[in-house]
A and B are shown apart, each in its own frame.
Chain A
Amino acid sequence: AQSVTQLGSHVSVSEGALVLLRCNYSSSVPPYLFWYVQYPNQGLQLLLKYTTGATLVKGINGFEAEFKKSETSFHLTKPSAHMSDAAEYFCAVRPSGYALNFGKGTSLLVTP
């Protein structure tokens, strides 16, 4: 079964610093990969997704992720963190069916 592993349940960065949230997947076939963000008391919101084509995917709020097949990774980055980026981030893979398989999530803390 396809699954994802998010390294680091908590990541802390200073405002203005690079954000790097790690996600590795296991899949025997090319996967569909997603990053979702959850702000407090809100639902999951799609940040970006990789399906086919360009391996560098740009999403909302300045985030981007690069699909690296050789490393089975789909790490999420943002050049400069903002206080409003503090949230829970989930990497997910979607096999051929309907279900999204989520990682455990990474809580991003941004300090002044």
Chain B
Amino acid sequence: EPEVTQTPSHQVTQMGQEVILRCVPISNHLYFYWYRQILGQKVEFLVSFYNNEISEKSEIFDDQFSVERPDGSNFTLKIRSTKLEDSAMYFCASSDGRAGTSEQYFGPGTRLTVT
């Protein structure tokens, strides 16, 4: 069964460093998403991406964040200068349609620890 994969599973970085989290969505999906979950809190939407541009973003997704689809398979989230409060589990998801009924398939997540 097709699945969303994410690398690395755990990333440790120092405050102020840039990190890139990588995702490989399901191959025939067209819509891509990033969510994050700070320990003990709910899963929060960050951004959605379609046709090589951001289609929706939350207020969390400020200028420190960017997303890119560098090739036909990868989807990345970049945090330019990490802060302690960026420590969280980051989930990538993809779907084949935009409609509210379309299922979003989630990856296993990358745990980001900022020290």
- Give the B-binding residues of A (Cβ under 8 A): 32, 36, 41-46, 49, 51, 90, 92, 94-105
Contact = CB atoms under 8 A, between A and B. Distances in A.
Interface residues of B, number: 26
B87 interface: no
B48 A45 contact: no
B100 A102 contact: no
B107 to A, nearest CB: 5
Contact of B42 (A46, A94, A97, A103): A103
B83 to A, nearest CB: 23
A90 B100 contact: no
B103 A49 contact: yes
B75 interface: no
B49 to A, nearest CB: 9
A105 B95 CA distance: 22
Contacts of B3: 43
A97 B56 contact: yes
Nearest to B44: A102
B84 to A, nearest CB: 22
A45 B109 CA distance: 12
Interface in B76-115: 91, 93, 98, 100-101, 103-109
Contacts of B41: 104
Given A51-B100, A94-B100, A104-B42, 11 more contacts: A41-B108, A43-B106, A43-B107, A44-B106, A98-B55, A99-B33, A99-B45, A99-B48, A99-B56, A102-B44, A103-B42
